[in-house]
């Protein structure tokens, strides 16, 4: 009998230790523990170490950190009847651990589903050009709509980003042709503007050169100097009219003077012939 008493005490102490250990809960800094006792919500505790009633309580840990959720590729028909495949990324975190456990079965899966549905609805109301050009606005609209749906779950959606837009091959070719035509149009417009500017400057230069004849000669000599840099070039050097005109006048005066010819050959040195009678 004396031997059984210490044994019973040891067993009771062991049971008490097991019960005490089972009542201990540890929650990390970035987590909260939602506690239920006999199915009734007690509240959210943490972080750190605390005790809960053993065997009759259940605790669910909720992570409060930002979750990056990739929305699977969704096939969307835009308002202008273009079929595209879009992939998006959601960033959200839990603001109310109790609502995230009580109001929804699995808030991660629920957020994924609402993200897919909202993505198809919003992009289906947008045209392809709007989707490509105003992606920031569409991301903001998606964030607002999804956040309104997840607010009652204690989930805050901070951002929604369209990650990738996959276009059909035919649409890619058409867009490439359109972009090429747009670049050619811009190039022609720039070339025309350059021609107009150049012609305006040339007209001004011609007016300045025309007002000073010596300027034209200087420009002419400068052009010859630039051409002479190329040693393999043959230069035909035309004389300016200012230099040729005096020579032409002298030649014209000499041509207009009368020629004086000797009479009867009296001034010639030819010998005379005499005949005998």
In a domain, 198, yes or no: no
Quote the number of domains for the chain.
Answer: 2
* Residue where one domain finishes, among candidates 171, 197, 218: 171
Same domain assignment for residues 36 and 75: no
Considering only CA atoms, which of 87, 92, 97 is closest in space to residue 46? Answer: 97
In a domain, 30, yes or no: yes
**Highest mean predicted confidence (pLDDT) among 153-167, 220-234, 251-265:** 153-167
Same domain assignment for residues 22 and 91: no
If one counts every other C-beta atom within 10 angstroms of the C-beta of residue 203, the result is 10
In a domain, 75, yes or no: yes
Same domain assignment for residues 102 and 155: yes
Considering only CA atoms, which of 140, 96, 95 is closest in space to residue 118? Answer: 140
Q: Which residue has the higher pLDDT, 130 or 268?
A: 130
Q: Residue 239's pLDDT is what? A: 61
Strand order in the sheet with 40-45: 40-45, 31-37, 57-63
Domain region containing 133: 67-171
Q: Residue 274's pLDDT is what? A: 43
Same domain assignment for residues 53 and 76: no
Q: What is the CATH number of the domain that holds 131?
A: 3.30.479.30
In a domain, 219, yes or no: no
With tokens 């987590």, the residue in question is 31
In a domain, 82, yes or no: yes
Same domain assignment for residues 46 and 98: no
Q: Residue 164's pLDDT is what? A: 86
Q: How confident is the model at residue 265 (pLDDT cuts 50, 70, 90)?
A: very low
What pLDDT, in 10s, does the model give residues 230-246?
666 666 656 666 666 77
Q: Residue 83's pLDDT is what? A: 86
In a domain, 113, yes or no: yes
pLDDT score of 105 more than 80:
yes
Average pLDDT (261-273) is: 47
Give the Cα separation of 129 and 122 in Å (integer).
14
Same domain assignment for residues 80 and 59: no
Q: Residue 237's pLDDT is what? A: 59
Q: Percent of the chain beyond pLDDT 90?
A: 28
Q: How confident is the model at residue 204 (pLDDT cuts 50, 70, 90)?
A: confident
Q: What are the helix (H) ranges across the chain?
A: 4-23, 97-102, 107-124, 128-133, 135-150, 169-211, 213-227, 241-256
Of 6-10, 94-98, 129-133, 186-190, the range with the lowest mean pLDDT is: 6-10
Of 54-63, 206-215, 237-246, the range with the lowest mean pLDDT is: 237-246
Same domain assignment for residues 103 and 50: no
In a domain, 144, yes or no: yes
Give the Cα separation of 46 and 34 in Å (integer).
9
**Phi then psi for 124, rounded to 5 degrees?**
-70, -20
Same domain assignment for residues 136 and 43: no
Same domain assignment for residues 85 and 163: yes
Same domain assignment for residues 51 and 80: no
In a domain, 27, yes or no: yes
Q: Which residue has the higher pLDDT, 220 or 132?
A: 132
């Amino acid at each position: 009998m004396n031997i059984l008493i210490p044994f019973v005490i040891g067993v009771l102490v062991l049971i008490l230790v097991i019960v005490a250990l089972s009542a201990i809960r540890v929650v990390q800094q970035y987590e909260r523990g939602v506690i239920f006792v006999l199915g009734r919500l007690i509240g959210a505790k943490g972080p750190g170490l605390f005790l809960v009633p053993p065997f009759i309580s259940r605790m669910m840990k909720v992570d409060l950190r930002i979750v990056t959720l990739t929305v699977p590729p969704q096939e969307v028909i835009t308002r202008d009847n273009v079929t595209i495949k879009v992939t998006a990324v959601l960033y959200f975190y839990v603001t109310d651990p109790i609502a995230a456990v009580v109001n929804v079965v699995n808030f991660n899966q629920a957020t994924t589903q609402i993200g897919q549905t909202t993505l198809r609805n919003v992009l289906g109301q947008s045209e392809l050009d709007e989707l490509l050009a105003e992606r920031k606005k569409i991301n903001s609209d998606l964030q607002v709509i999804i956040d309104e749906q997840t607010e009652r779950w204690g989930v805050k959606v901070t951002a929604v980003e369209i990650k990738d837009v996959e276009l059909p091959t035919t649409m890619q070719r058409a867009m490439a042709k359109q972009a090429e035509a747009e670049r050619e149009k811009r190039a022609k417009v720039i070339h025309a503007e350059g021609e107009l500017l150049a012609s305006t400057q040339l007209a001004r230069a011609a007016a300045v050169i025309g007002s000073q004849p010596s300027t034209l000669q200087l420009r002419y000599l400068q052009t010859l100097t630039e051409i002479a840099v190329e040693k393999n070039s043959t230069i035909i050097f035309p004389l300016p009219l200012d230099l040729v005109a005096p020579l032409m006048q002298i030649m014209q005066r000499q041509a207009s003077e009368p020629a004086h010819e000797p009479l009867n050959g009296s001034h010639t040195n030819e010998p005379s012939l005499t005949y005998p009678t």
